Amino acid sequence: MQGTIAGPNGVVTGAGTSSLLSFVLVQKVTNRAPVGAILSAWAPKEVARWLGNHWPLWVRGNYSDAAQMVPEYAGVVDWGETYAFMSFPIPRKKGSKDYKNQPTRQILFGWTYEDDNNYGLLAKGWNGAFTLPRDMFVKKWTVRDPRAEERGSWGIVSRSGSSYDLETLGSRPAEEVDALMNESKTKWSEKSWTYSGSGLNNGTWKALSKQPKSRFYVLSATLAFNTETIRVDRSKSSLVTGFNLGPEAGKLRLWNVPSGKGNGTKLETLDLKVFVDNSIVEIYANDVFAMTTRIYPWRDDSNGLGYYTSGSSSVKYSNVKVWEGLTNAWPSDLPTRLTSLFGMGPMCLGLVGKGFS
């Protein structure tokens, strides 16, 4: 299944391999109440406030004989500054990893818009960029957590005593992105670090043992703590107050899962992967959460990397890895190509000068 359905409440794009037939993307919703009700476990008014004017959702449902989709549960495609997502299938090579489980991959792209309040828009000559490509898949896992009965962005496949088999729409950076990370010029790992909690409200900053020299890097880390919100504090991201320095936030539940020892349980860890490409920051968590946000550092030395913790609870950072010096997206002959482009006439120059949205 592939295609687009336009209706009074939005635009729905099919997400197409056999295991994904029950999932669709909702690109724009003018009446948020029906889908918001599905997200009631996470307070739809709060979710609407976080997502602002754009509302990129996915919905899982079943199709009736009248070719109508009956929603079961829904979730957020990206909690940040994105919209206009589109997916398409890519066949896997026979014999490759996961070929039997998912012979056709579903790739997702979105558009991240600027969050600079149009400051210097004409001067820089562009507006927005594509997100990194993402793999979409049906994620299934087992929890021992009564919260599974709540209404949220997951569905119950089966129950057995205190255990629940759940499913949801998974999302993670495409495998090609991981392959490009291996071509990074600089890579290093950090030792694990535990913050025991001091009860101070002003927070604690601990720099990594090594610092990046640029704002083009990937950070991967595993955190262990109890929370349901991922928040990006942009208040000190730039010296220019004209930019949007407000916070970004999204919901992510960490479940109680089998510990492997009898009927014991343990809390899931938070596995983060953060991509920093100058003004674009993409955050992925536990193969179910994505947030794309924008920052506009003004100083050349605004490239510090470290841990920031606050409050009285404890948190442990482990498996921390950094990849710096990512593959250059611009070809070496770009000036020649631009010269040819500008030679096409004033119309093309006008498009470049005003930017694209």
Task: Tell me the residue type at 27.
Answer: Q
pLDDT at 232: 87
The H or E element that residue 124 is part of is helix 121-124
Residues 6+ apart with CB under 8 A from 300: none
pLDDT digits (tens, 9 = 90+) for 41-57: 444 454 455 455 677 88
Rounded Cα gap, residues 151 and 164, in angstroms:
14
- Dihedral sign of CA atoms 69, 75, 80, 85 in order: negative
Mean pLDDT of 268-286: 92
What pLDDT score does 119 carry? 76
In this predicted model, which residue has the larger pLDDT, 69 or 45?
Answer: 69
Asked whether 60 and 23 are in contact (CB, 8 A), the reply is yes
Phi and psi torsions of 10, nearest 5°: 145, -170
DSSP category for residue 101: T
The predicted-structure confidence for 95-139, as pLDDT tens digits, reads as follows 887 788 788 899 999 999 988 888 777 777 778 899 999 999 999
Q: What's the rounded Cα separation, in Å, for the pair 25 and 57?
A: 6
**Contact 13/4 with Cβ under 8 angstroms?**
yes
Give 275's DSSP letter: E
Residues 6+ apart with CB under 8 A from 296: 116, 237, 238, 240, 243, 279
CATH fold for the domain made of 175-324 = Jelly Rolls (2.60.120)
CA distance 66 to 71: 14
Cα 7 to Cα 27, 29, 30, 166, 314, distances in angstroms: 11, 9, 10, 30, 48
pTM beyond 0.85, yes or no: no
Using pLDDT thresholds of 50, 70 and 90, give the confidence band for residue 246.
confident
Choose between 299 and 203: higher pLDDT: 299
What's the distance, Cα to Cα, between the start and end of the chain in Å? 28
- The arithmetic mean of pLDDT across residues 288-309, rounded, is 88
The structural domains of the chain, with segments of one domain joined by +, span 4-136, 175-324
